[in-house]
Structure 1
Amino acid sequence: MAKRTRIIEGTWNCTSCDTKGILARHKVCPSCGNPRELTGRESEFDFGDVDAKTGKSRREGVTDAQALELAGAGEDWFCAYCGAANRGDMPRCKQCSAERTDDAKAATGSDLPSPELPPQPVAQPKKGMGRKGLIALGLLFSCCFGSTVFGIWGSRTHEYEGQVTGTEWKRAVVQERFTAVAKTGWRDELRTTSPHMPVNGAGEVAGVSNVRDCVSRQRGTRRVADGTERVCRTKSRRVACGTEEKCRRRDKGNGFAEEVCEDVTKYCSESYEDCQNETRYRSEPVYAQQCTYDTYEWKQVGRRESSGADDTPRWPELSVSGVDRLRREEHYAVNIRYEDDGQKQHVLEPKGEQDFLPWRKGQGVRLTVTNLGKVEQVVPR
């Protein structure tokens, strides 16, 4: 594709008299006569805005023969003696007539940055909703930020002195007997085995026997293929849709930029239907044989309990036969009062007798408590 080239003239600002927008063809300020020097502001040229879509300069290209000659003279150089800017093809400084030496600084040409993508439009709040929107945003921020701060505050702990006001214990002995029962189960999971009675409450085998009264019942569901169906989904793809102009610029190092434009393939987003034959499924019930069978299981036939508020927990008496077994249950509690006014209550629940026995009524304790009132630790004093 054919390329189109043109020259764009930049502008600079004088730091001596603050004149703005001086054309690059002027090596000295038209207002005050000061030469352009290698300073931060005077050495930089403004080449104007470009079209965000194409990158093409919004300025008109240079057509003046003299300006075009200047653009082709090469990179400017700055005199090592007086600092004035000179044309790239000049052997002597126009300002002080000093010869161009190796230490004369030269401007360097470089590619100018490409334009950024056009900014996306920012959604404006609906008319009349600004105040409400700000309030809602503030509430949301307060909620999120406040919950975090509250969580940090709530997890902080403090130490309190306390005292044991009493102890409690409860114990139970449960008598269980290996008893014949009838149950139901799926036929394919039942394997006939002989039961074995326990000896001294152990070694038992429940067994499975007398499988009977089998009926068909729904056990679950399964997915099965039920033909095919045509399913279409809307998708998008990029396709060539003509050409568009794209331009790039290069700073020539003398206040002029060379702009090269060419037509390139343009791509657009196109929607299309992607249709395929897909398997259709349906759910159907799954049936199996459910049967009644005989087996054994442990059942409670007796229970005895004892409790107290002293420091010596005891097990209740309960005698059993050789086919029965005993199961023990126990619960312990240590009641504690704390805080300066002694109004706060806490119940410590030891897991077993060994953890319960060291606690005594009237014993001093130290508690670690969070700001939210959760007791993290209790240790005796």
Structure 2
Amino acid sequence: MTKESLGHVELEWTCPFCNTRNRGRNKVCANCGAAQPKDVQFEQAAKDELVTDAEGLELAKAGPDIHCPFCGTRNPATAKKCSRCGGDLTEGERRESGQVLGAQQTGPVAQVACEYCGTKNPATNVKCTNCGSPLAKAPRPKPAAAPAAAAAPSRMSPVMLIVGGIILLVICGAIAFFVARGFQTETNVARVSDVTWRRSIVVLGLAPVERSAWADEIPGDADVGFCSERERERSPFPTDRSEEVCGTPYVEDEGTGFGELVQDCEYIVYDDYCEYTTIELMPIGTIDESGSDLNPFWPQTRLEQDQQLGERREVYQITFDVDGETVAYETTNASEFARFAPGSAWQVEINGFGDIVNIEPAR
């Protein structure tokens, strides 16, 4: 993001001794002649108007003013000696700069009434057009207050408390039931009554696939379809296909009695995002083998041109007879499966949900 300058606007400051508002370029109060103290800040005027006179532009760009270390008088940045007391400004303190004062003021100028004669004056005036008295700064309008949220009931009704309690008890009971059933186990002697296995291999073949990507990322041999222009990124620099977007202008204190009107800008970079079709290896089928013994094998494969073998999958199931009831156990480990000869005896630990959680050879 880059910062772009729109020009300079003159600020103002209020004399702490007589409460007179002064133009930013004034080093001393136009009413009482007091020098602007270094702790008196510059403020935005009622309306931000760009400075066009040569003197104002020169002052605005000169750099932060410097306060005399002897009498406190504000002097231009280029001054070597104080304009009031002649003191050396080498050890003088420069005004701070760069503070954001607020968004650009472009709305209609409000009216402010003179405290002495009651005449209404534009808020940009620093003195009354009728009697010449200093004018106070017009207050800025405050943002509208958000509507107050509706007050919550002071307490819940007895029926709601009872219903809530019942729901909480049901939830707690269900959780306790599932936990108890999961940890509740029983060990029995079981015999292997049946074994089955299944092995499969995915076959990959060349097939058309529809995808989408930025135009410069599409493979050269792809068939490009519909394209649309989209935002691809944001950049601080312009490109061939970019659009500048800027935020609300705001004023930064230059420490000179003037402010720089700036705005933060960046560029939206657009590019073509396209749908395309390409030929890729994709799953086109599966070949399987299965059996009911302890000798599993992989299916024989006969591949056509441009076909390849993909993922291999295997699953083994052992069925146990536990006191006349059957319980199944599955594994993907062929070595483990080979241990369960039909008719062999095992100690199986079964949880409350009927699942086998541990198997050991029968003693």
Is TM more than 0.5 here? no
Q: Please state which structure has a larger fraction of its residues in strand.
A: 1
| TM-score, normalised with respect to structure 1 | 0.38
TM-score, length-scaled by structure 2? 0.39
Which entry has the higher C-alpha Rg, 1 or 2? 1
